[in-house]
Structure 1
């Protein structure tokens, strides 16, 4: 029986414990530790661990696998504190949302007999916004695995095995690739949510504006319901990637502002504002349906040029009828927006 020690047992850590104990209780013994005594006690109460250790050295001493599930800002200190106590041939992994820094720290701090493999479960948010632990949190979710060049093959297998035992899908990645993607879909949404929320809350009219808050604003600002320490950790360990993606967001925002300042483009149902909104609607629908976009190397179908008959009809009958004509061609594709609604 393998001992898995969880360092951090809030939602992700406790869900790992619940998942391993629910389906593989004879395979794993789960030990839990958390610096927050309330979270520590709650994990034991809900059955996420077989035993809870209050001392960090005792928690890791006999572990075959150690999983760090704390904000990345705590990871350096945790690695320093556990380094003298980890067992021979131990596998150490994490669930943090940035990887380049923690891989460097692990190389600098851990003893030669320990092997570090980066990990990051890419779970989708609960539609209700709740963050309760669940043994099924990782079911069919991608689980990024980022080995260090010096990771033992057996350590990589340990992490992959835990991943599949949780029902997740292993996704092997390069640390630079991982950190760029993580910045795009985890870091940037948090900072955009913070900016939008603070912009409204800093208004002298916020007392009245807050009465208009509905599901859209609540959903958009949901990332800031998370512990700010997690977001701050992304900022301190992934600044270059965050700056790149925030620049891309700023370009899109600037484009929207330019269109809003032009009456004709705002009112044009085939104009850039309509294109932007339709593209976003279609991209979101594909995400909801689980439809993967084609890789950039695949052959893209060229945009269909109008026939001579369609071009003549457009001149004679105008854009509205031609939009209706084109809309009818896409009616069997559920991911295409019917532009006749514009």
Structure 2
């Protein structure tokens, strides 16, 4: 047991998976799920993702020594502001948001002085949404990026590091919020934008013939539009930089195709093949 009480705000895919993993591994005496809809809480209880459930934010976090905010990124600062006065002394608060610079700046300013904020981003999940898709083993072998600033409490960082390892995470990396946002803009946010553009480029007449290649390439385009709207708004600086590099590559390929430069095209495909195979 690492914590007495863990409060999870947002018991969807990620929050529900965290709850199931905590309970399966006995990492807390009590796991409380906090949501906006009674139906979500009932489903989380039915799946044993949480021990208790409530719609009351302040009531839910009282007595918790770990609070995890697993909501869309636009809601995280608002939620932190509402609960800051109800956090116990020594409580660790973290989030699982896909962007960090704005969130870390806001929460380090908002969170009560007696509590400690450390940003987290588990690089796990799917295009699905809701606790019904939660998986106890979702984080097994995954990567978690944790953020560190000059305001980060080392003891809180270390304890949270141990928590993620206990969930089966394979690799934990500590980065600044800005470096985190640069990385995920290239390996997460850009691919989603590219997938969106590909789906919206194909005509309806062509889409009826879409098979495994198209579906595999564009799977993430089926993700929640509200979540991705918020990601693009809160990480626009780094996403725009990534898009500029992507555009240069598209322009280069377009030129090679236009000129019929077969040898150079093959080099580009060889390069991408070699780089992609290193990820396997």
Distance change (3 Å), C-alpha of 1:130 and 1:8:
closer
Give every structure 1 segment of 4 or more consecutive aligned residues whose post-TM-superposition deviation is greater than 4 Å.
Answer: none
Match of 1:272 among 234, 248, 264: 264
For 1:28-47, what per-residue CA distance to the aligned partner results, in whole angstroms no more than 9, with x for missing partners?
Answer: 42111122443332211111
- 1:135-146 alignment runs, 5 A limit: 135-146=136-147
3-state secondary structure, aligned to 1:219:
helix
Residue of structure 2 equivalent to 1:39: 40
Does residue 197 (structure 1) correspond to residue 190 (structure 2)? The answer is: no
3-state secondary structure, aligned to 2:112:
coil
Which structure 2 residue ranges, 5 or more long, are not aligned? none
* Shift in Å, 1:216: 1.6
Residue of structure 2 equivalent to 1:156: 157
Q: Normalising by the residue count of structure 2, what TM-score does the alignment of the two structures yield?
A: 0.92
Do the aligned partners of 1:72 and 1:230 also contact (CA within 8 Å) in 2?
A: yes
Distance change (3 Å), C-alpha of 1:33 and 1:199:
same
Q: CA RMSD in A?
A: 1.6
Residue of structure 2 equivalent to 1:254: 251
What is the distance in 1 between the residues matched to 2:222 and 2:29? 32
Q: Normalising by the residue count of structure 1, what TM-score does the alignment of the two structures yield?
A: 0.76
For 1:29-86, what per-residue CA distance to the aligned partner results, in whole angstroms no more than 9, with x for missing partners?
Answer: 2111122443332211111111111211111111101001111111121111111211
What is the distance in 1 between the residues matched to 2:52 and 2:256? 59
What is the distance in 2 between the residues matched to 1:130 and 1:83? 30
Do the aligned partners of 1:116 and 1:147 also contact (CA within 8 Å) in 2?
A: no
Does residue 244 (structure 1) correspond to residue 241 (structure 2)? The answer is: yes
Which structure 1 residue ranges, 5 or more long, are not aligned? 289-342
* Shift in Å, 1:224: 2.0
Deviates more, 1:66-75 or 1:226-235: 226-235
Residue of structure 2 equivalent to 1:167: 168
Instruction: Decide which structure has the larger Cα Rg and report it.
Output: 1
Residue of structure 2 equivalent to 1:215: 212
Residue of structure 2 equivalent to 1:229: 226
Distance change (3 Å), C-alpha of 1:124 and 1:69:
closer
Residue of structure 2 equivalent to 1:304: none
Does residue 133 (structure 1) correspond to residue 134 (structure 2)? The answer is: yes
Distance change (3 Å), C-alpha of 1:164 and 1:250:
same
What is the distance in 2 between the residues matched to 1:7 and 1:149? 26
- 1:55-70 alignment runs, 5 A limit: 55-70=56-71
Distance change (3 Å), C-alpha of 1:148 and 1:39:
farther
Residue of structure 1 equivalent to 2:88: 87
Do the aligned partners of 2:7 and 2:68 also contact (CA within 8 Å) in 1?
A: yes
- 1:8-27 alignment runs, 5 A limit: 8-24=10-26, 27=28
For 1:261-304, what per-residue CA distance to the aligned partner results, in whole angstroms no more than 9, with x for missing partners?
Answer: 112x13xxxx221111122222222212xxxxxxxxxxxxxxxx
3-state secondary structure, aligned to 1:66:
strand
